[in-house]
Amino acid sequence: MISRSSFSLRFARIALVGAAVLWAAVVDLGARDEWTVLENCRFIGNPADDGDSFHVSAGAKEYIFRLYLVDAPETDEMTPARLVEQAKYFAITVPQAIEVGEAAKGFTREKLSEPFTVFTRWSGAMGRSKIERFYAFVQTKDGDLGEQLVRNGLARNYGFKAVPPGLKNSRIELEKLQQFEDEARHEKIGGWGVNVGRLNVRAQKPPSFSVFVAEKKARPRAKPPANTFSQISATPAPASSTAAISPVEVKKSHAKEKIELGKIDINSATEKELKMIPGIGPVMAVRIIAARPFRSADDLKKVNGIGDKNYAKIRPYFQ
């Protein structure tokens, strides 16, 4: 026979679990299908910041954003199990992993020292702060911040998945991140170079990092998503915002430029140069970069999405 005290305790546990499930459901309902673009954002220094999570001001509002698709090591021992996992991934010790985390934190602070753009759908990313944290892609003057962290060995290709703005799926971006991670490991930089004194060595040949664009202009938001604090609200992108240019408009701007036949090096061409070639759009340019290195431009046939007809069209532009 179950005692009254035992029954009460069991009921309390069930109620607690139910409340947690309900809270999670409310957070999911708060997420939007469309991207909100926050421009001219400023970094707010906070002791709780790390390489992939940080405080941001957009206008008069303060937010905490967590990067999609990448994971930088922790900067303290508050989550030991996660820290052990990160150390194991980079094949280093836990104290060394914290060093990498601190280096990633400094790298992010440096990259966000100038105004930047945030793309978010207000999907909740759990954290220890009283201010709710949201997943986002962050664009600096050099391109996507997550890609820069991974390429310099300060984060791994790992984390909450999302389709970047302007793309049809996340696979292309994940492949690009994996390519960057492999290159950083090969060069022994960042976390991959701690044991040989190359923690603070940067990529030898920085690639062209992605600059995502929204598929459509973000709508103004009168109030924050459900279960957020009152001080958190979205700032819509201005009508003249370059971050809200459609992929079609971006493609047209490149089409105005001319490029000579037989001049492009398949293994060193930037994303911008590739997109100047008739028949290569933003998605295909990313696929080509992710498939490097090539033995010759003839290997373009192996890139997913390049059929015989398109290959015949673009091949004359390469050496």
**What digits encode the pLDDT tens for the residues 200-215?**
999 987 778 999 887 6
Min mean pLDDT across 17-31, 83-97, 159-173 is at: 17-31
Residues 6+ apart with CB under 8 A from 267: 292, 293, 294
C-beta of residue 244 within 8 angstroms of C-beta of residue 213: yes
On the question of pLDDT at 42 being above 50, the answer is yes
Does the pLDDT value for residue 106 go beyond 90?
yes
Q: What is the pLDDT of residue 267?
A: 86
Mean pLDDT of 300-305: 85
CA-nearest of 137, 112, 113, 147 to 213 is 137
Q: How far apart are CA 89 and CA 98, in angstroms?
A: 13
Between 277 and 225, the more confident residue is 277
Mean pLDDT score across all residues of the chain: 79
pLDDT at 55 over 90: yes
Q: From residue 89, how far is each of 11, 73, 82, 97, 223 by CA, in Å? A: 41, 10, 11, 10, 40
What pTM did the predictor assign? 0.61
Place of tokens 């459901």: 25
